Homo-oligomer: A and B are copies of this chain.
Amino acid sequence: MKKTSHIENTGKFPGLNVNEGVAQPPSINPYLKKRIKRSQYTTDEYIDGILAGNISILSQAVTLVESINPAHQQQAQEIIERCLPYAGNSVRIGITGVPGAGKSTFIEALGTHLVKTNHKLAVLAIDPSSVRSKGSILGDKTRMEELSIAKNAFIRPSPSTGSLGGVTRKTRESIVLCEAAGYDTIFVETVGVGQSETAVHSMVDFFLLIQLAGTGDELQGIKRGIMEMADGIAINKADGNNVEKSKLAARQFQNALHLFPKPASGWEPKVLTCSAFHKLGIEEVWTLISDYITFTKQNGFFDKKRQSQSKYWMYETITEALKSSFFHNPTIEKLLEHYEVELCQNKVSPFTAAHHLLDEYFNRQK
């Protein structure tokens, strides 16, 4: 039973169980145990397995990256460091859109097209809310039946532990492992309603917004500012009676984008229509992405962006750590509650409150 065994080996069920808190058929518990036992690989074994493209070891390395256990964390960092020289040779694509826009179906359609044309595809998700909303890619696995069993596809749900900063950082680290394992295309899925879009935008080469035809009302869900991040917009569900409506929406979006200044890439964001369900217009979206990659590699923006993204993640990680050291300080936590009340009653200025808290923090560190 190739299929099942493949799914076990990807560690996706255990991953789902561990990360998504989805009820687990007893029959699968053994795999979970096995994964935990198996993750006692040496760093060399992880490296060899990843570089050999062993999907099971890759999956367990990602689990290691996602682990909050300090020992796991340290080993994960070693693995990432040693994978770095083999990483970077992929096209990283961020895919966002409100729930209902048809992200999973789109990823299934474009992903299947890619693996059929000999691409190796890794699909990662950033969606800390998925634990609750079940909105993550594996929360709705049925829509990705074909892709989830494809030999050249690696699919991981969002790590559900830790802060948004932590989750996005782990995803950014997992990209390195997937690239070292030979995946030439990385999808990073995010639900366009959270705070995670800037983070995704800072780890991908191309940012795709999946949109639906319709007026502002249908778009209420999507976070402001996302449209201006998009290198491309795909109006999905352009089928049946919806075709004309979708073409009109595409024109409206294209006009709106014309009012925006050109992005730093020098690329004019494009709007296409597609039907992920009927697999219409999917290849065109891939052509658009490929054109963008060619364009930005020629004008040097591709490398420039990757470098500034590396710096972004270094500075972001530092800032997150500084804030966590401050805001998880028990004394600060207590004082903070007090000052938030005072602030709302206009009894203290934000700046005095901040200075009192900072004095407290730095004095205690002395």
Contacts and interface: CB of A to CB of B under 8 A. Distances in A.
A256 interface: yes
Given A224-B228, A259-B216, A262-B216, A322 B326 contact: yes
Interface in A298-355: 307, 310-319, 321-323, 325-326, 339-340, 343-344, 346-355
Tell me how many chains of this kind the complex includes. 2
Interface in A248-286: 252-253, 255-256, 258-263
A343 B307 contact: yes
Nearest to A98: B261
B80 A349 contact: yes
Q: What 6 pairs between A and B have smallest CB-CB spacing?
A: A313-B350, A317-B354, A314-B350, A256-B256, A322-B322, A310-B343
Contact of A255 (B219, B256, B314, B317): B256
Interface in A112-136: none
Contacts of A256: 255-256, 259
Contacts of A315: 354
Interface residues of A, number: 67
Contact of A351 (B80, B216, B352): B80
A255 B252 contact: yes
B349 A173 contact: yes
A225 to B, nearest CB: 5
A351 B173 contact: yes
A279 to B, nearest CB: 27
A241 interface: no
